[in-house]
């Protein structure tokens, strides 16, 4: 399937949205709940899969739904189609602070492998599948398990990551990365997991027990603030469930907050 050719612009800085411009009859697919706003004349429909499953009938549809279940995402993708006259726009917003990365799959050999929750939207015709790691270490210690998401096609796709985005070009080189900071990589990059130094470094270094090893020739995208890390910090500073900051308005309460750095 040849992807629809869509125009777009990314709006904002740290809380970005991508506005996609559709010609009559063009369609963009997106994760459920990602839509921010759209022009009148655009219709949308929740469907099982990315649309490429129709090429192989019912079996292809069930296979596509099974892949979505394995990645932990909703089995439905929303298809937005310009059914009106003239150009129409629809915008999609990321679910947490970070950046939107634009991928032209035609320029990167038609394939990109990324975290399971990184996909935001793409032109119709993009296949959204899964990539199994055959290495046991990646499965147990890679953070994303055996399953990563694979985007295939020849059109535009958009993914989202937290914090600042770092783009690394590897030329028969090796890069060690915190497993949570990996966003995705192009064809030609080999992904593995290795132990983070000696036992003392593993348990007391604060960098996690294992690091992702990326080697080969291709492009790697990293994020400075994985959502899991941000969520852990928020929970660590949140009041205990069912309770409150005792002595909140008192002198002792104020001293306690100073000692805690609040």
User: Is 42's pLDDT higher than 80?
Assistant: yes
pLDDT digits (tens, 9 = 90+) for 138-160: 555 444 445 788 999 999 999 99
Domains of the chain by residue range = 7-236
Residue of higher predicted confidence among 251 and 218: 218
Q: What is the pLDDT of residue 189?
A: 95
For residue 217, give the H/E element and its range. Answer: strand 210-223
User: Is 23's pLDDT higher than 70?
Assistant: yes
Give the phi and the psi of residue 74 in degrees, each rounded to 5: -60, 145
Buried b / exposed e across 116-141, counting CB within 10 Å, b at 16+?
ebbbbbbbbbbbbbbbebeeeebeeb
Q: Worst-scoring range by mean pLDDT, 153-157, 196-200, 242-246?
A: 242-246
| Mean pLDDT of the region 186-196 | 85
Dmax over CA atoms of the chain, in Å, equals 70
Q: What is the pLDDT of residue 211?
A: 81
Q: What is the pLDDT of residue 243?
A: 52
CATH class in words for 7-236: alpha beta
Cα–Cα distance for residue pair 167/175, rounded to 1 Å = 12
pLDDT digits (tens, 9 = 90+) for 76-87: 899 999 999 999
């Amino acid at each position: 399937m040849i992807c629809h050719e869509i125009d777009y612009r990314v709006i904002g800085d740290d809380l970005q949205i991508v506005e996609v411009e559709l010609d009559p009859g063009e369609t963009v697919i997106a994760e459920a709940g990602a839509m921010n706003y759209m022009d009148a004349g655009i219709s949308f429909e929740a469907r099982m899969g990315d649309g490429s499953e129709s090429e192989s009938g019912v079996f292809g549809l069930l296979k596509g739904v099974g892949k979505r279940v394995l990645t932990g995402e909703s089995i439905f993708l929303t298809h937005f189609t310009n059914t009106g006259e003239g150009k129409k726009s629809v915008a999609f917003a990321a679910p947490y602070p970070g950046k939107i990365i634009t991928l032209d799959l035609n320029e990167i050999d038609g394939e990109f492998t990324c975290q399971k929750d990184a996909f935001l939207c793409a032109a119709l015709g993009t296949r959204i599948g899964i990539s199994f790691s055959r290495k046991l270490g990646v499965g147990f210690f890679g953070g994303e398990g055996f399953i990563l998401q694979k985007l295939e096609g020849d059109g535009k796709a958009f993914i989202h990551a937290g914090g600042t985005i770092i783009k690394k070009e590897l030329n028969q080189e090796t890069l060690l990365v915190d497993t949570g900071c990996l966003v995705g990589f192009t064809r030609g990059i080999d992904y593995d997991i290795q132990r983070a130094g000696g036992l003392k470094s593993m348990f007391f270094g604060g960098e996690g027990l294992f690091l992702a090893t990326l080697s080969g020739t291709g492009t790697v995208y990293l994020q400075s603030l994985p959502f899991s890390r941000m969520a852990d910090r928020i929970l660590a500073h949140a009041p205990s469930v069912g309770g409150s900051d005792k002595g909140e308005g008192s002198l002792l309460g104020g001293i306690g907050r100073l000692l805690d750095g609040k």
